[in-house]
């Protein structure tokens, strides 16, 4: 009980002492958001637009990006551009950052959010798919981060990485996906240390999300789990605030923090809960 109370106090203290969000700080901010044609990325684009930011968005589908850009402009974005790119192509991550630098004249925020589609099913040995997913969900992230760092450095900028509770705990049916998220957490956790040791003024925020009600996520888990999904628009706003206040981590919804820190205390209980949170009959 004492331990639990201490964790709660530590959590609440961290919440209360976290810096206040100043919406005006995003007016005119130069932002690149990836995976912004749908889901959480699209919602982030709309929030940044309402805050009056200058935005570049990217994903593969040009027509959809065009519609999102039009809506961003109608919501109040100072500028909004799109560039279609496939993050599985080796040159596209650099191409996208170059485009954003050229259109906006620099970057204050790089928000890495895109993911390639991946089946929600038992691992059936598809190594090629896992390699491809690593390219899209991981290698493109580090390539874009490296390309954008000099500009972020010049502008006291922020790097925001959208990760998942599945980058902190393992779960069935998502072996390739969870691998990419663990890789992100490892890489950007290490990079955060290095930037701090170099006294860099770039902040890194890694966002741990639980189940969010995007179409792609809901399509996968419908009928398979009863875990509650949280709203994409709220998740998007929390990610933006975390980046703007330069906090190292976001846990959304809040209880994902407790799952992440308690998962190793009683491993067999954790495994039991995870394996029984899915409707699966062999
Ligand atoms: P969506 O599937 O809704 O959106 C994925 C985005 O990535 C789309 O804009 C898609 O656009 C783009 N994309 C897909 N493949 C590529 C590619 N090869 N190259 C470039 N862009 C690509 O994802 P969510 O909004 O659900 O998730 C957003 C983030 O949140 C992800 O990082 C995810 O891991 C994380 N998250 C989501 C959770 C959830 O329950 N939804 C839970 C935990 C974390 P297009 O098809 O046009 O290329």
CATH of the domain at 127: 3.40.50.720
Please report which confidence band the pLDDT of residue 19 belongs to, taking 50, 70 and 90 as the band edges: confident
Residue 212, strand partner residues: 230
In a domain, 125, yes or no: yes
Residue ID of nearest Cα to ligand 1 atom 2: 216
In a domain, 278, yes or no: no
In a domain, 259, yes or no: yes
Whether the complex's predicted ipTM is more than 0.85 is answered with yes
Q: Which of 177, 230, 278, 280 is catalytic?
A: 177
At residue 50, the pLDDT reads 98
Q: Which domain holds residue 82?
A: 22-273
In a domain, 174, yes or no: yes
At residue 281, the pLDDT reads 79
At residue 236, the pLDDT reads 98
Q: Tens digit of pLDDT for each residue in 119-139?
A: 999 999 999 999 999 999 999
Q: State yes or no: is 177 an active-site residue.
A: yes
Q: Kindly state the tokens that stand for 49.
A: 């637009």
Q: How many domains does the chain have?
A: 1
211 lines ligand 1 (CB under 6 A): yes
At residue 8, the pLDDT reads 66
In a domain, 182, yes or no: yes
In a domain, 181, yes or no: yes
In a domain, 1, yes or no: no
| pLDDT above 70 (res 40) | yes
Q: Kindly state the tokens that stand for 176.
A: 């390739």
In a domain, 16, yes or no: no
38 lines ligand 1 (CB under 6 A): yes
For residue 149, the CA-to-ligand 1 centroid distance in Å is 23
At residue 226, the pLDDT reads 87
| Helices (H), ranges, the chain | 2-17, 39-50, 62-75, 92-104, 127-134, 140-154, 175-197, 215-221, 232-244, 256-262, 267-275
Residue ID of nearest Cα to ligand 1 atom 39: 212
Mutational test site, ligand 1, from 43, 44, 46, 59, max ligand atoms within 8 Å of CB: 59
């Amino acid at each position: 009980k004492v331990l639990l109370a201490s964790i709660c106090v530590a959590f609440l203290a961290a919440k209360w002492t976290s810096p206040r969000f100043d919406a005006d700080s995003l007016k005119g901010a130069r932002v690149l958001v990836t995976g912004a044609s749908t889901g959480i990325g699209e919602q982030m684009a709309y929030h940044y637009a309402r805050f009056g930011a200058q935005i570049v968005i990217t994903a593969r589908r040009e027509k959809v990006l065009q519609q999102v850009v039009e809506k961003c402009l109608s919501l109040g974005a100072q500028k909004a551009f799109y560039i279609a790119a496939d993050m599985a192509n080796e040159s596209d991550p650099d191409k996208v950052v170059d485009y954003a630098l050229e259109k906006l004249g620099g970057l204050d925020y790089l928000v890495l959010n895109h993911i390639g589609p991946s089946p929600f099913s038992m691992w059936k040995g598809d190594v090629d798919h896992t390699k491809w997913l690593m390219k899209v969900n991981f290698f493109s992230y580090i390539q874009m981060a490296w390309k954008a760092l000099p500009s972020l450095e010049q502008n006291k900028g922020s790097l925001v990485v959208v990760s998942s509770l599945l980058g902190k705990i393992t779960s069935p049916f998502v072996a390739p996906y969870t691998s990419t998220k663990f890789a992100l957490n490892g890489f950007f956790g290490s990079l955060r240390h290095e930037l701090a040791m170099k006294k860099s003024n770039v902040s890194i925020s890694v966002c741990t999300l639980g189940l969010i009600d995007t179409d792609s996520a809901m399509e996968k888990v419908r009928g398979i789990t009863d875990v509650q999904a949280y709203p994409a628009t709220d998740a998007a706003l929390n990610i933006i605030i975390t980046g703007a206040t330069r906090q190292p981590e976001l846990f959304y919804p809040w209880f994902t923090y407790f799952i992440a820190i308690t998962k190793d205390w009683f491993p067999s209980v954790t495994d039991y809960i995870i394996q029984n949170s899915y409707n699966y009959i062999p």
